[in-house]
Amino acid sequence: MLSVAAVCVVVVMCPPSNPPPQQPPPHKPPPKPPAQTFPPDFVGMVANSTSLELYRANPMLDRMVKQGVGTVRFEINWRGAQPYPKMSKVPKKQRSGYVKEGGVPTSYWNSDRLVGAMAQRHLDMLPVVVDAPKWDEAKTNGQIFVHPPQKFGPYAHYFKLLVRRYGPKGKFWSEHPKIPYRPLRKWQIWNEPDIRLFWRVQPWDKLYVQMSKAARKAIKHVDPGAEIVMGGLSRYSWSVLASLYKIGGVGVWDAIAVHPFTRHVKDVVGILRKVRKTMKQYGEGGKPLLATELSWPSAKGKTTIGQDIAVTKQQQAKNLTAVFKLLAKNRKSLHLQAAYWFTWLTYDKAHDNHFDYAGVLHLNADGTIKQKPAYKALGKVALGLDGWRTPARREPALRPDLPQRPPRGRGRHVKPRRAGCLEQRRHRLRRLPRGAPPRDRRGPRDARADHGAPRRQKGPGQDHRGAGRRAARAAQAQRTPHDLLAAQPARGARVPRARRERQSRALAVAAAGCRHG
């Protein structure tokens, strides 16, 4: 019994030789993907002429990209592109800047500059074509900001020229192959035609529908897949849209654009819902909706008009953040394609124009630019949207007339950095045929000397540039590892880091028996 008990004690007291395996930690499920992602062109900016001047456009566009802007709405001025009806009317000194398009001298200088600058930054573009030239402007009485056309044929023809130049098969892309291929597929017809400042001729609604039909026909003739965007409706846009539908506007535009200016942020969504309801009533509920202008100018107490939507600079930043978050939340239910803030850069000094304070940047009288609180708010809200990616990281579209090229660094030789003999450059090492003599890697002067060509001798007093450097290189090549070790500084001596690295590299190269290149 004692033996059995002893055995039992031994069995109980001795730890097991193979402990049981530990249970693995519970597997954590992968994180769920975000509920919704936003297209890169959701947050937009209206770039006014002040921000797109010749010497200011590039830095301003760079700052837009940095702050998260994905699409830019800009003006193409028809009046400036075709100011003369015939080439004979153009002054001789200016004729070199025009090309004859359909008998009308046309200048693409400004539009080329803007489209090229935005395409280089991978920005989406929404051009709005406005302002008829003098030879086709309608007669108006009173002050007007832009001039509506008298005949709609020239306006439609100018649209056709623009699509032929900047569309999918446009000449601009073949003439500038180094510019990223970002063809224009959206075209906005005029701006706020329901306001007398932009369209004083009455009845404006019938004339605008006729002009839109002519422009649509011209654009679709060149690019059937182009998107025709209505000029932004400003005041009571839902009722104005209904009146346009009643007089034949159904099917004229592929996207409806409104400018929901209001005092409270929450009312922006309310306006868009009313517009969407009107679209559904007339069978166009499936078309996208754009807010091509929205803003709260920081003109509180500074102007005689527009005080109903004027706010302080701090409140402007708060409203900007709130409205983009609210629109992003309701984007799918509204079928909202993009929202554009008005505007980027303003002078902030007018007394009769509250929109002169709408910019997120302030232009001083001396030409310097100062950030407003809305500038940082724009970057924070735009870059914080889920699924947003910078325009510079988007993959450019493929040109239809050019073969697809592999991306840089993939499937293409990339020149490596300078390296020593331990990491030779591949593009300098070429395998020679078997039995071929080694390649002469010396300079042309040494090669001429071997073939008997006389070297040019320097006369007395001439500077022998490079002689000391060549002698130092020759002496460096003949040094042995023992010499290099002897040249090492004493232990504890302070040696510059660059010199220390050079000595270590030279020691390793000499020990390997090859020359550092």
pLDDT tens-digit profile, the chain (517 residues): 444 444 444 444 444 455 555 555 555 554 444 444 678 889 999 999 999 999 999 999 999 999 999 999 999 999 999 999 999 999 999 999 999 999 999 999 999 999 999 999 999 999 999 999 999 999 887 667 889 999 999 999 999 999 999 999 999 999 999 999 999 999 999 999 999 989 989 899 999 999 999 999 999 999 999 999 999 999 999 999 999 999 999 999 999 999 999 999 999 999 999 999 999 999 999 999 999 999 999 999 999 999 999 999 999 999 999 999 999 999 999 999 999 999 999 999 999 999 999 999 999 999 999 999 999 999 999 998 855 554 444 544 555 554 444 444 443 443 434 434 434 444 444 455 555 555 554 444 444 444 444 444 444 544 555 566 666 666 665 655 555 555 555 555 555 666 666 666 666 655 555 544 4
Asked whether residue 252 is domain-assigned, the answer is yes
Asked whether residue 159 is domain-assigned, the answer is yes
Q: For the chain, what's the residue count?
A: 517
Give residue 496's pLDDT: 64
- The residue behind tokens 């990223």 is 180
Contacts of 212 (CB under 8 A, 6+ apart): 189, 228, 230, 249, 252, 253
By the 8 A CB rule, do 278 and 287 touch? no
Per-residue tokens: 209: 């529908």
Q: Count Cα atoms within 13 angstroms, Cβ side, for 475.
A: 8
Phi–psi pair at 126, nearest 5 degrees: -125, 95
Structural domain harbouring 329: 43-393
Rg of the chain's alpha carbons, rounded to an integer?
35
Give the 3-state secondary structure of 306-354. CCCCCCCHHHHHHHHHHHHHHHHHCHHHHCEEEEEECCCEECCCCCCCH
SS3 at position 228: strand
Per-residue tokens: 44: 């937009």
Q: How far is CA 169 from the centre of its chain?
A: 21
Looking at the DSSP bridge assignments, the partners of residue 140 are: none
Asked whether residue 335 is domain-assigned, the answer is yes
Asked whether residue 199 is domain-assigned, the answer is yes
Interatomic CA distance for residues 261 and 308, integer angstroms: 10
Q: Which helix (H) or strand (E) segment is 155 a member of?
A: helix 152-166
Give residue 392's pLDDT: 46
Give residue 140's pLDDT: 80
Buried b (16+ CB within 10 A) or exposed e, 174-199: eeeeebbbbbbbbbbbbbbbbbbebb
Asked whether residue 194 is domain-assigned, the answer is yes
Interatomic CA distance for residues 76 and 131, integer angstroms: 9
DSSP string, 37-96: ---TTSEEEE--TTTTSTTTHHHHHHHHHHTT--EEEEEEEHHHH---SSGGGS-GGGGG
Give the amino acid at 311: V
Asked whether residue 29 is domain-assigned, the answer is no
- The residue behind tokens 């003006």 is 75
By the 8 A CB rule, do 361 and 370 touch? yes
Give residue 473's pLDDT: 64
By the 8 A CB rule, do 45 and 69 touch? yes
CATH number of domain containing 184: 3.20.20.80
Asked whether residue 367 is domain-assigned, the answer is yes
DSSP string, 88-139: GGS-GGGGGG-EEETTEEE--HHHHHHHHHHHHTT-EEEEEEE---GGGBPP
Asked whether residue 516 is domain-assigned, the answer is no
Interatomic CA distance for residues 348 and 374, integer angstroms: 14
- Total tally of structural domains belonging to the chain: 1
- The residue behind tokens 């080329």 is 112
Give residue 405's pLDDT: 43
